[in-house]
Amino acid sequence: MSPDSARQADGASEIAVGLGERSYRIVVGRGLLARAGELSAPLLTQRRVFIVTDANVASHHLPAVVQSFERSGTRVEHIVLPAGESTKSFSQLESLIDTMLAAKVERGTMVVALGGGVIGDLAGFAAAITLRGLDFIQMPTTLLAQVDSSVGGKTAVDTARGKNLIGAFHQPRLVLADTDALATLPRREIMAGYAEVVKYGLLGDADFFRWLEINAVAALSGADGGHARLAEAVVRSCKAKAAIVAEDERETTGRRALLNLGHTFAHAFETELGYGDTLLHGEAVAIGLVLAFQLSARLGHCSAADVAVIKAHFEKVGLTWRAPRLGPRGAISADALIAHMSGDKKVKDGTPTFVLARGIGRAFLCREVPRPALESVLGEALNG
Ligand SMILES: NC(=O)c1ccc[n+]([C@@H]2O[C@H](COP(=O)([O-])OP(=O)(O)OC[C@H]3O[C@@H](n4cnc5c(N)ncnc54)[C@H](O)[C@@H]3O)[C@@H](O)[C@H]2O)c1
Ligand SMILES: [Zn+2]
């Protein structure tokens, strides 16, 4: 076992995110929400927390968290927001902050983000800017949030001009990933989050990808032994993300940008289809991962066999890698997708930067992708 993670007596695993004075722990395990009070206690400067959650999560998990804080002698206030991406908006941010100020939160009040990536991003951003910065704890309840959005300190809201365009880097003080919370998550959300798990294998850890090839079906089935495997996938994903974030917290060296493997394509499809239920983010990521490898193969960086192995894995677990061909504006064109890519936040001097791969587990950043290669890969996906 690597020195940065340790299995605790109660079966939970801990991963350290090493960021100097902003370092924190990710705890992954069962039953953690019911122990939220005790696990958070050492970090509270005031025995007071303000929980932000959404309606779906509240109905399943809020009572356990509230009771746990109350048992540990902590005053709890909470707000339940509507579920869905539209909650990550300026207007919700404003009303959330207004509610917090009306409740007279103080610099020592701990904000708790209990939910998926929407709640984590919104509550984290509110914490970043309220009273010039409150501490916050992430309690991620979706697979996507447990393996990705709760770690690394990116917080944001969306605007009409694009997703995540307004936000701040604000690291949580603690991440509590209770894998039991995933039991109430709809299957489709589990599968979407799984695409981000695969991403870690594909970008930097071929062994992890091979492990997933053997264990993913059981991990996702909820069958005997499945839970332990899913928890292990969460731990390995968090370790991968923690290592990258510790090296390149603010995405300045290019290392953190590798986490965007598949995402330039994914965001283009999401923009074309409109963010919502038609195509979940993780579903777009699965499609994007295959396209990123297809583009890599087209440019001679990896083999067609790599692409085939990835497609086969997605098919085996039941995630589609086939690009949607129809959007609200009719047939989706390569030109439209490329136009969305050029408007992406990651764009440097007008050309999209791609994360490509020299093989499974060997991603790299490529600033110059010839447009004809991109057009042909997209053309094949949309018409082939
Ligand atoms: N900050 C980052 O680094 C980062 C990284 C990746 C994604 N994100 C952001 O994350 C967001 C997507 O996150 P998400 O996929 O978690 O979506 P989400 O927060 O909308 O959750 C998905 C759905 O599951 C419900 N839900 C959550 N937990 C549940 C549970 N345990 N049981 C039952 N229902 C539950 C939610 O109410 C919602 O309807 C996007 O806005 C994306 O931009 C941020
Ligand atoms: Zn993603």
Pairing of strands 5-7, 13-17: antiparallel
pLDDT at 245: 97
Secondary structure element (H or E) that encloses residue 14, with its range: strand 13-17
pLDDT at 347: 63
Q: 351: helix, coil or strand?
A: strand
pLDDT at 9: 57
- Residue 167 CB less than 6 A away from ligand 1: no
The residue count for the chain:
384
Closest of 226, 327, 235 to residue 274, by C-alpha? 327
pLDDT in tens, the chain (384 residues): 444 456 765 789 999 999 999 999 999 999 999 999 999 999 999 999 999 999 999 999 999 999 999 999 999 999 999 999 999 999 999 999 999 999 999 999 999 999 999 999 999 999 999 999 999 999 999 999 999 999 999 999 999 888 899 999 999 999 999 999 999 999 999 999 999 999 999 999 999 999 999 999 999 987 777 999 999 999 999 999 999 999 999 999 999 999 999 999 999 999 999 887 899 999 999 999 999 999 999 999 999 999 999 999 999 999 999 999 999 989 999 999 999 998 766 666 656 889 999 999 999 999 889 999 999 999 999 998
Alpha-carbon Rg for the chain, nearest whole angstrom, is 20
The Å distance, Cα 370 to ligand 1 centre, comes to: 34
pLDDT at 1: 42
CA distance 5 to 239: 8
CA distance 189 to 118: 13
Structure tokens of 355? 């994360």
Structure tokens of 297? 């193969």
The Å distance, Cα 193 to ligand 1 centre, comes to: 9
pTM: 0.96
Taking phi over 0 as left and psi of -120 to 50 as alpha, with beta for the rest, 340 belongs to alpha
pLDDT at 2: 46
CA distance 191 to 288: 15
Q: Which of 239, 263, 298, 340 is catalytic?
A: 263
pLDDT at 284: 97
The Å distance, Cα 103 to ligand 2 centre, comes to: 34
Provide the strand spans (E) within 92-218: 110-115, 136-140, 154-159, 162-169, 174-178
- Per-residue b/e over 310-347, b at no fewer than 16 CB within 10 Å? bbebbeebebebebbeebeeeebbbebbeebbeebebe
Looking at ligand 1, which atom is closest to the CA of residue 84? 20
Q: Which of 104, 132, 161, 348 is catalytic?
A: 132
Q: Which ligand is nearest to the CA of 140?
A: 1
Position 151, amino acid? V
DSSP class per residue in 227-286: HHHHHHHHHHHHHHHHHHHHH-TTS-SSTGGGGGTTHHHHHHHHHHH-SSSSS-HHHHHH
Pairing of strands 174-178, 136-140: parallel
Structure tokens of 227? 């839970």
- Residue 124 CB less than 6 A away from ligand 1: no
- Residue 141 CB less than 6 A away from ligand 1: yes
CA distance 65 to 182: 15
- Residue 181 CB less than 6 A away from ligand 1: yes
CA distance 122 to 145: 13
Closest of 83, 49, 54, 45 to residue 67, by C-alpha? 49
Q: Are 107 and 134 in contact (CB under 8 A)?
A: yes
CA distance 306 to 360: 7
Structure tokens of 144? 């996507």
